[in-house]
Structure 1
Amino acid sequence: MKKSRFEIINPSRFPFFYGYVVMVVGTLGVWASLPGQTVGVSIFTDPVKDAVGLSRDQFSTAYMIGTLMSSFFISAAGRWFDRYGARIVAAASALVLAFSLFLASIAHKLTAGVVSLVTFDHWVIPFTVMVLLFFMFRFSGQGVLTMSSRNMVMKWFERFRGRVNAFSALSISLGFSVAPVIVDKLITSYQWDGAWRIMGVFLLLMTLLIILTFRDNPEKYGLIPDGKKCKEGSKAIESKPLRSFEPSEAFRTRAFWMYALMLSFNSFFITGFTFHVISIFETSGYARSEAVAIFIPIAVVSVATSLIFNFISDWIRLKVLLYIMIAGGLLASFGMGLISSTNGVYMVIAGQGIMGGMFSVLNAVTWPRLFGRKYIGTISGKAMSMIVLASALAPVLFSLSHTRLGNYEYIAIPSVLFVIFVGLASIKANNPRLPA
């Protein structure tokens, strides 16, 4: 089989199944998206807002608008993935993210330059600059690089998809957990602008690694998913070849919308809660230290849930996993309504942990399981756009619950109603590739 023009590594001649290389570099690709993730941006909030001359509210609003804008373009990126493949799309997104980091490192200078050019000094100028930068961060990092890296891994595995995703999800969770400490040290040692430049250099190196190692389909190299054929009598869900759905077919199924809506609710609830966590706990009579400490038990529940259900997801129907996530959503939502009590806090911890763990399972295995691998980019891209949109709206709606209604607990009412709706509507959300 012919190697492509820019191909140095040929998977068909590798000493072992190349899918395991894809698993590792795909995980690294998601790690590299950190500068575009909320956890990677939030550490820069205080020094950057002061440097460009924005208030906390203005800076947060710029982040929200940039995120909203990115959600409208991620579906297109999914189509690019299906058309051009993982390597080209991931490399391009890593390069754009690197470029946006270099631009962000001179955001204060860009603002000053625009002010001198238009001879008009107003907060709207740095606000607009940050909106555009956040759009680039969120679109290239959280959106395209994450989606293309994760989808590539899922295309190389079928029967072992859950077990492979268990490794990837655990690695990503641990990586994102220690990342804030590392980024904070970079800011302390090299200032916020130097930290962004260092991260930009890392993204350039990651772009090179992507070009060298990312590969789109095992069939292109005469290989098959999982590296070997399925044994006769296998009980794995993906043990039989099934057709891939066209995107238009997928979007007409109840299953697509129910899974996408529940994944989006997870993004909404966790983003809104995290964004306002200090204020939520202080208004409920807890100390700031208690608010920060809540993420440790949530992470423990999330990682345990992710590991267990990723490993067994190869043998369990998706709807069972979906209802476990729905149960977590209900638990977290009711807990939010009782957040001023100890029981409410425990419910939020358990609910968010279950939802977060199941998110890492379902966001990876759902789309190839339900609709096949051929158009996984377009289909998952539409779902990702909904997820990003939900994360953009969450901080504002949580804030309105507090400022207009007087308490964060009121956000529990629409949350509970929404999750109940998804639960009821999902009763008939069957896998369209399997007999009813």
Structure 2
Amino acid sequence: MSAKSRFSFIDPAKSPFFYGYVILAVGTLGIYASIPGQTIGVSVFTDPVKDALGLSRNQFSNAYMIGTIGSSLVIGRAGIWFDKYGARYVAFFAALVLAAALMLCSWSVQMSAFAKQMLDSSSWLIPFTLMTVLFFTLRFSGQGVLTMASRNVIMIWFDKNRGKVNAISSVAISFGFSSSPLWVNALIEGYTWQSAWQILAGGLLVISFFILQFFKNRPEEHGLLPDGENVEEENETKIVPLAKQYTLVEAKRTRAFWMYGLILAFNSFFITGLTFHVVSVFASEGFPKADAIAIFLPTSVVAVSISLVFNYLSDYLRLKWYLYLMILGGIMASVGFLFLSSNVGIPLLVGGFGIMSGFFAVLNAIAWPRFYGRNHLGAITGKIMSFLILASALAPPIFSFCFSTFGSYRLLGYLGLAFLLFLALASVKANNPQ
């Protein structure tokens, strides 16, 4: 059995339809399986776990931040693994590591008590250090490696129809992620937080088996072509030159890499910071908690609509237009953030928030293979992922520092506008390197 089919009973060449659609389904499942390592999956456990470990909210949040920053510093290595070993093995081992991390999280109280006994100490630093290491593992394997490998494998199996399939995947993931706090919380309330993490670990073990069976690295390894094109016809009629396959070093020399990477990082920073402190942000402008929470539903509707329409159109339109539309969404959100108490504040914030989120789902998947080819996609997206994770880790403490120092969050709105105006000017020449 060849290396590309080892431990798998599935042969894509024998599929009655293009196997890329199977990749679309299992790749989306892989992204969905990363939820326990995403902020939206971890946040539900915050209160019961910190109380059980005897940590304050700040201590628990700082452990999460440090673990996330640590993950951002090494995620680029996982991109190199992706290029070297392929999506199949990388995603499989990421799922296994995430499952193991979840099991260890479920035993965190026992491990903390054992360490305290061994060290003859009751210091809060013991559970703090333990959770920092566990959060690093969760974020690296879940938010980082499993997400990157699952998204990239979909992009590799499609070319001309990349936008269309990403539209399907993005909508499914949006609804899946938005509903996850409900069923994760139901697990916690029904079975305790320890059992909830153990159930999630068991689910990941099952998903890791599906990944090993159904993930296939590249269509060419199985005598196929992206989008299901006919090999013979492709060989006979191909007149379009092959795209240049950029290495990470070459990609970093292009302006597009930095401009697209920075707007995606800004999205992660702004949305993570706002989501983390949304009740406080609205309270500082005189709004009740209910009004703060209410922004997420209309924002999701805008984001899903933008993602669905513009993913589909991305097969026909220049992505530079998308870049500027995303910058426009950021400007709208920043203005709404600054004038939240006015009549137009919340509509601008919701609209801008949704526009940014929608275009993030498009550009973060579509831009990199289109601009830089598929051969070094792991290294390139791994570096971009490090930007996103670092931005999301820094956002909550920076938002908190701004409020505690100046008594208001508005300074962040002005800084956001200045940064976005810089991006708008610097992106004039951020063209597709191809």
Corresponding position of 2:35: 34
Secondary structure of the residue that 2:344 maps to in structure 1? helix
Instruction: Label 1:113 to 1:431 Cα distance change in 2 as closer, same or farther (>3 A).
Output: same
For the Cα contact (< 8 Å) 1:98–1:204, is it kept in 2? yes
The residue type paired with residue 297 of structure 2 is: I
Whole-angstrom distance in 2 between the partners of 1:126 and 1:278: 28
1:327-346 alignment to 2 at 5 Å?
327-346=328-347
Corresponding position of 2:374: 373
What are the ranges of 5 or more consecutive residues in structure 2 without an aligned counterpart?
234-238
| Deviation of the 1:44 alpha carbon | 0.5
| Deviation of the 1:244 alpha carbon | 1.1
Secondary structure of the residue that 2:402 maps to in structure 1? helix
1:398 aligns with 2:399: yes
Secondary structure of the residue that 1:342 maps to in structure 2? coil
Deviation per CA, 1:276-316: give whole Å up to 9, x if none.
00111111111111111110010011001001100100001
Whole-angstrom distance in 1 between the partners of 2:112 and 2:346: 43
| Deviation of the 1:82 alpha carbon | 0.3
Corresponding position of 1:235: none
Question: Which segments of structure 1 move beyond 2 Å, counting only runs of 4 or more?
Answer: 1-7, 238-241
For the Cα contact (< 8 Å) 1:159–1:239, is it kept in 2? no
Corresponding position of 1:79: 80
1:304 aligns with 2:308: no
| Deviation of the 1:333 alpha carbon | 1.0
Whole-angstrom distance in 2 between the partners of 1:130 and 1:423: 40
| Deviation of the 1:243 alpha carbon | 2.0
Corresponding position of 1:9: 10
Secondary structure of the residue that 2:150 maps to in structure 1? helix
For the Cα contact (< 8 Å) 1:104–1:133, is it kept in 2? yes
| Deviation of the 1:239 alpha carbon | 6.9
Whole-angstrom distance in 1 between the partners of 2:241 and 2:226: 12
| Deviation of the 1:189 alpha carbon | 0.4
Whole-angstrom distance in 2 between the partners of 1:242 and 1:378: 17
The residue type paired with residue 23 of structure 1 is: L
Whole-angstrom distance in 1 between the partners of 2:359 and 2:340: 23
Instruction: Label 1:12 to 1:388 Cα distance change in 2 as closer, same or farther (>3 A).
Output: same
Deviation per CA, 1:211-266: give whole Å up to 9, x if none.
00001100000100000159x9xxxxx97631211221111111101100000000
Corresponding position of 1:178: 179
Secondary structure of the residue that 1:73 maps to in structure 2? helix
Corresponding position of 1:259: 260
For the Cα contact (< 8 Å) 1:370–1:432, is it kept in 2? yes
TM-score, with structure 2 as normaliser: 0.96
| Deviation of the 1:84 alpha carbon | 0.3
The residue type paired with residue 80 of structure 1 is: W
For the Cα contact (< 8 Å) 1:339–1:409, is it kept in 2? no
The residue type paired with residue 140 of structure 1 is: S
1:414 aligns with 2:415: yes
Deviation per CA, 1:130-170: give whole Å up to 9, x if none.
11111011000000000000000000000000000000000
1:157 aligns with 2:158: yes
What are the ranges of 5 or more consecutive residues in structure 1 without an aligned counterpart?
233-237
For the Cα contact (< 8 Å) 1:329–1:419, is it kept in 2? yes
Deviation per CA, 1:30-62: give whole Å up to 9, x if none.
000000111000000100000001001111111
Deviation per CA, 1:337-356: give whole Å up to 9, x if none.
11222311111100010000
The residue type paired with residue 182 of structure 1 is: W
Corresponding position of 1:326: 327
Secondary structure of the residue that 1:120 maps to in structure 2? coil
Whole-angstrom distance in 2 between the partners of 1:48 and 1:426: 44
| Deviation of the 1:409 alpha carbon | 1.5
Q: Aligned Cα RMSD in Å?
A: 1.4
Whole-angstrom distance in 2 between the partners of 1:6 and 1:313: 36
1:194 aligns with 2:173: no
Q: How many residues align?
A: 427
